[in-house]
Amino acid sequence: MPASSSTVQVPPGGARAFVVKKGNFFRVIDVQGGQVADLVAFKLDDMSERLDQSRTRINNWKYRISVGDPVYSNMNNWMMTILEDKVGIHDLTFPGCSSFAYEKILKVGKKNGCIENLAEALNKEGNNLKTFEIPAPFSLFMDVEYDLRSNVPIIKPAASKAGDFVGMRAEMDCLVAVSSCADDVTDCNHGKCKPLEIKLLE
C-alpha cells in the first residue's frame, strides 16, 4: 500500500468527515479493539448519490462483504472497493444508532447516536443534511447474527482487536464520514466507546 499522507482522529462516540479522491486509499483502524465504525459516503459533487446498504448487499449477492468486494451507491454506481480487511465481519443490515433508538427502543433517555454525529461531522464540511438524509451505514467490525427460528437479530460484541483495520479505494470522488459508534448501552462496543483512526493514503 502507498505511504500515509494524513491522519484523522475519531474520538470515542464521535464522528469525522473527510474527502477521498478517486483512486486514493484510506484505512479505518480500530485503535483499541472492540469498536464499531459506522461509515457513510456521498459523491463529492452530487450529495444525492450516497452509499446504499441494500444495493451493496444485492449487487454482491451477500450480506457480508470483504476483500475485493465493491460498495455501491443508491444509483448502483461503484463507490469504493475493499482492498484490505483484517476482520472480515461487518454489518450491512442495521441502521446507525440514533436518539430515537436510545429513547424509544433502548429506553435510556435522549442521547445522540451515530446518525446525529455523522450529520454533524458532514455539516461541518459546508453541507446542510438532516438526520433522515444520512444513509444506513456500512458498519465496520459490527457482528450481527440472525436467529432464523425466532426471526430475531442478535448483536454480538464487535469482532475487531486492537490495530485491526479495513482498507478501501475510492472509485469516485467521495465525501466520507466515519463514526466511532456511540453505543455504550449494549454489548455492541463491549460496553464502552473507543477511538478510531483514519489513515488517508495517496
Identify the H or E element spanning 14: none
Grid cell in block for residue 50: 450516497
Asked if 139 and 36 count as a contact pair (C-beta separation under 8 A), the reply is yes
Query: Mean pLDDT throughout 185-190?
Result: 93
Q: Are 40 and 176 in contact (CB under 8 A)?
A: yes
pLDDT of residue 3: 57
User: For the chain, what is the domain count?
Assistant: 1
84: three-class secondary structure by DSSP: strand
pTM score, two decimals? 0.93
**Closest to 87 (Cα-Cα) out of 1, 158, 38:** 158
What's the rounded Cα separation, in Å, for the pair 40 and 63? 17
Asked if the model's pLDDT at residue 198 lies above 90, the reply is yes
5 close to 198: Cβ distance less than 8 angstroms:
no
The answer on pLDDT for 2 being more than 60 is no
> What does the alpha-carbon distance between residue 35 and residue 21 come to, in Å, rounded to a whole number?
26
Give tens-digit pLDDT for 109-167: 888 999 999 999 999 999 999 999 999 999 999 999 988 888 888 999 999 999 999 99
Per the CB < 8 A criterion, the answer to whether 44 and 170 are in contact is no
| Other C-beta atoms lying within 10 Å of the C-beta of residue 190 | 16
Q: What range defines the domain where residue 85 resides? A: 4-201
The arithmetic mean of pLDDT across residues 168-172, rounded, is: 98
Q: Mean pLDDT of all residues in the chain? A: 95
